[in-house]
Amino acid sequence: MVESKRVVLIGAGNVATHLGVALQKAGHEVAQVYSRTEASASTLAGRLNVPYTTDLSQLCEEADLYIVSVKDDVLSSLLPIVVKGKEKALFVHTAGSMPMNVWEGIAPRHGVLYPMQTFSKQREMDFSTVSFFVEANEKADLEMLKELASSLGAKVYEANSEQRMSLHVAAVFACNFANHMYALSASLLNKYGMPFESMLPLIDETARKVHQLEPKEAQTGPAVRRDANVMNKHLELLSEEPQLRELYEIISKNIQTI
Amino acid sequence: MVESKRVVLIGAGNVATHLGVALQKAGHEVAQVYSRTEASASTLAGRLNVPYTTDLSQLCEEADLYIVSVKDDVLSSLLPIVVKGKEKALFVHTAGSMPMNVWEGIAPRHGVLYPMQTFSKQREMDFSTVSFFVEANEKADLEMLKELASSLGAKVYEANSEQRMSLHVAAVFACNFANHMYALSASLLNKYGMPFESMLPLIDETARKVHQLEPKEAQTGPAVRRDANVMNKHLELLSEEPQLRELYEIISKNIQTI
């Protein structure tokens, strides 16, 4: 049985929302929600049925953990105000691309709780399908963050700030860019009057395959077969789509050289 | 109950192998297997427990359906020999990028049975997760092909030759190129000592999301948010990886312009 934690959420975006819901489900207490705007703060607070504030100087001071989940470009400027008067608590941010040392000289106990997932407001998030990467400046706090993430059902890994940045970039390729490949596929199918739905089994199997094989071993298609005949036909079909054609050529070449 | 068909498989590669297994499971008869090489022919024939030949002039003449599943570049040259003496049967190929008219003047009854999936010898293929695209020059044969594919548990769509070619290209993006994005992700994680396994939940969710949302709506990440700050950090991390850096820039730009 994991000890229940008293948590304050600073931020009310996708990550904070999904985290808040999951923390409550796992038996933790969300003590308060902060957002810069009344609308966001009250929406999330209403969903969690907890108090909220839009004033950082009014943050609840008796929490175990403060989770800052705001846009990267405002993060650093917020931190001193967030920590003030609560120097005994543990402070973490959730940003993949921000180093842990943004907390240095501000919060004695600090760390990072990075949930690597693609969060959408439209979809429920099952945290048993999320990898968390944790980092902390004190060993006891690292263990606490691991336990907290595990209590949500998540898989937990330790990662230092450089590793977390590499994860963030790797996630752009495996998630954002893979999704863009789906989007390009959808636009082509749409042009030729075929339903995107017909592509879903292939998309699913492509994802399933890399549970079993290294992605490099799982590679199929004309580029890895060096089937110039088929590739030329494809480029011909793409002759009116200069952007798709360019990507087709560059990615195919890349497949052949790594 | 679908009528059982008597089928000859010409070719013994991934597609022919998975098709042969599935046809037998669905109660059809594989009468014979042909492959150019003894090794391939006997391997597949042994697996299906049926006769084989390596001589096209020795093809069984009493089948309902001949399925030609060979490399695109040898397909056309094979067809006249395959059809000779069996002009009453139905002949199909399985190639996404070959038009139906390769059969014209050769086989009076002809068509295409294109299973759109990524086949690996290492993985069992569940045909209930395959979209089939069928085309035939006669209506009755089109219906027969639809029934045959349905009997394997597959989803079946009609597609003319141009649509099939667009599907083939769309599949390169959604499958081959998406898998390459996984491979690039894996190589980065490997460099920084993180397990690729930690990326699988994200890969799965990215695929699941497009069952519910259009890929364009499902797009997340720094490019679509136009978060130049994060993108610059990513490019910095990729400074020693010119190929990844180039792809990162081009795909990000592409995400912002379509």
pLDDT bucket at A212, cuts 50 / 70 / 90: very high
Inform me whether the pLDDT recorded for A250 exceeds 60: yes
B30 and B124 assigned to the same domain: yes
User: What digits encode the pLDDT tens for the residues B31-51?
Assistant: 999 999 999 999 999 999 999
Is the pLDDT at B122 greater than 90, yes or no?
Answer: no
Number of independent structural domains in chain A: 2
What per-residue confidence (pLDDT) applies to B127?
87
Same domain? A89 vs A178: no
Instruction: State yes or no: pLDDT of A173 exceeds 60.
Output: yes
A220 touches B119 (CB < 8 A):
yes
Range of the domain at A102: 6-159
Q: Choosing among B15, B102, B172, B258, which should be mutated to test the A contact, i.e. which has the most A CBs within 10 A?
A: B172
Does the CB of B258 have a partner CB in chain A at under 8 Å?
A: yes
Map chain A to HEC letters. CCCCCEEEEECCCHHHHHHHHHHHHCCCEEEEEECCCHHHHHHHHHHHCCCEECCHHHCCCCCCEEEECCCHHHHHHHHHHHHCCCCCCEEEECCCCCCHHHHCCCCCEEEEEEEECCCCCCCCCCHHHCEEEEEECCHHHHHHHHHHHHHCCCEEEECCHHHHHHHHHHHHHHHHHHHHHHHHHHHHHHHCCCCHHHHHHHHHHHHHHCCCCCHHHHCCCHHHHCCHHHHHHHHHHCCCCHHHHHHHHHHHHHHHHC
Return the beta strands (E) in B97-147 as ranges. 109-116, 131-136
| Residue B175: strand, helix, or coil | helix
Give the model's confidence band at A196: pLDDT under 50 very low, under 70 low, under 90 confident, else very high: very high
What pLDDT band is residue A103 in, cutting at 50, 70 and 90? very high
Q: pTM score, two decimals?
A: 0.88
Q: Are B211 and A123 in contact (CB under 8 A)?
A: no
At A47, phi and psi to the nearest 5? -65, -35
B14 part of a folded domain: yes
Buried b (16+ CB within 10 A) or exposed e, A137-149: beeebeebbbebb
Q: Do A193 and A210 have their domain in common?
A: yes
Last residue in a domain, options A159, A192, A216: A159
Rounded percentage of chain B residues whose pLDDT exceeds 70: 98
Domain-ending residue, one of A143, A159, A175: A159
The amino acid at residue A7 is V
Q: Are residues A124 and A220 in the same domain?
A: no
Average pLDDT, chain B: 94
Q: So what's the pLDDT on residue A124?
A: 73
Task: Flag if B131 and A199 touch (Cβ within 8 Å).
Answer: yes
CATH number at residue A29: 3.40.50.720
* Closest alpha carbon to B97 in A235, A239, A198, A182: A235
Identify all chain B residues contacting A122, using CB atoms and an 8 Å cutoff: 212-213
Neighbours of A81 (CB within 10 A): 14
Q: How confident is the model at residue B258 (pLDDT cuts 50, 70, 90)?
A: confident
Residue A187 in contact with partner chain B when CB distance is under 8 A: yes
**Complex ipTM, two decimals?**
0.89
Are B155 and B191 within one domain? Answer: no
User: A216, exposed or middle or buried, with CB in 10 Å at 0-12, 13-18, 19+?
Assistant: middle
Q: Over the stretch A22-78, which tens digit does the pLDDT of each residue have?
A: 999 999 999 999 999 999 999 999 999 999 999 999 999 999 999 999 988 899 999
Please give, rounded to a whole number of angstroms, the shortest distance from the CA of B155 to a CA of chain A: 8
What is the mean pLDDT of the segment spanning A93-112? Answer: 95
As a whole-number percent, the residues of chain A with pLDDT over 70 amount to 98
pLDDT of residue A122: 67
Q: Best interface-test mutation with B: which of A18, A210, A211, A213 has the largest number of B CBs within 10 A?
A: A210
Distance CA A22, CA A152 (A): 6
Do residues A62 and A4 lie in contact, with contact meaning Cβ atoms separated by under 8 Å? no
* B24 part of a folded domain: yes
C-alpha–C-alpha distance, residues B6 and A63, integer Å: 72
Residues B189 and A170: beta-carbon distance below 8 Å? yes
In this structure, the answer to whether residues A182 and A148 fall within a common structural domain is no
Q: How far is B36 from chain A (nearest CA, A)?
A: 19
Is A120's CB within 8 Å of B255's CB?
Answer: no
C-alpha A36/C-alpha A31 separation (Å) is 17
In angstroms, the Cα distances linking A132 to A90, A96, A229, B201, B248 are 17, 10, 44, 11, 24
Q: Does A134 touch chain B (CB under 8 A)?
A: no
Pair A189, A127 in one domain: no
Together in a domain, B181 and B95 = no
Q: Do A214 and A229 reside in the same domain of the chain?
A: yes
Average pLDDT, chain A: 94
Residue B153 and residue B106 in one domain: yes
The answer to whether residue A1 sits within a structural domain is no
Residue window 29-88, chain A: list those with CB within 8 Å of chain B: 72-73
Is the pLDDT at B123 greater than 80, yes or no?
Answer: no
Is B1 contained in some domain? Answer: no
For the cut 70, the answer to whether the pLDDT of residue A256 exceeds it is: yes
Q: Report how far residue B68's alpha carbon sits from residue A256's, in angstroms, rounded to the nearest whole number.
A: 28
Single residue among A110, A127, A159 that ends a domain in this structure: A159
Instruction: Please return the burial class of B8, using the count of CB atoms within 10 Å of its CB with bins 0-12, 13-18 and 19+.
Output: buried
Largest separation between any pair of C-alpha atoms in chain A: 69
Residue B129's closest chain A neighbor by CA? A201
Residue A78: inside a domain, yes or no? yes
B156 and chain A in contact, CB less than 8 A: no
Residues of A in contact with B200 (CB under 8 A): 210-211
Q: In what order do the strands lie in the sheet with A90-93?
A: A52-53, A29-34, A6-10, A65-68, A90-93, A109-116, A131-136, A155-158
Per-residue burial over B70-109, b if 16 or more Cβ lie within 10 Å, else e, is bebeebeebbeebbeebeebbbbbbbbbbbbebbeebbeb
Which 8-state DSSP code applies to residue B195? -
A59/A125 same-domain check: yes
pLDDT tens by residue, B56-65 = 999 999 999 9
CATH code of the domain in which A189 resides: 1.10.1040.20
Whether residues A173 and B184 touch (CB distance < 8 A) is answered with yes
Compute the average pLDDT of residues B196-211. Answer: 95
Please check whether residue A196 touches B, CB under 8 A: yes
Q: What's the pLDDT band for B140 if we cut at 50, 70, 90?
A: very high
Question: Do A125 and A180 share a domain, yes or no?
Answer: no
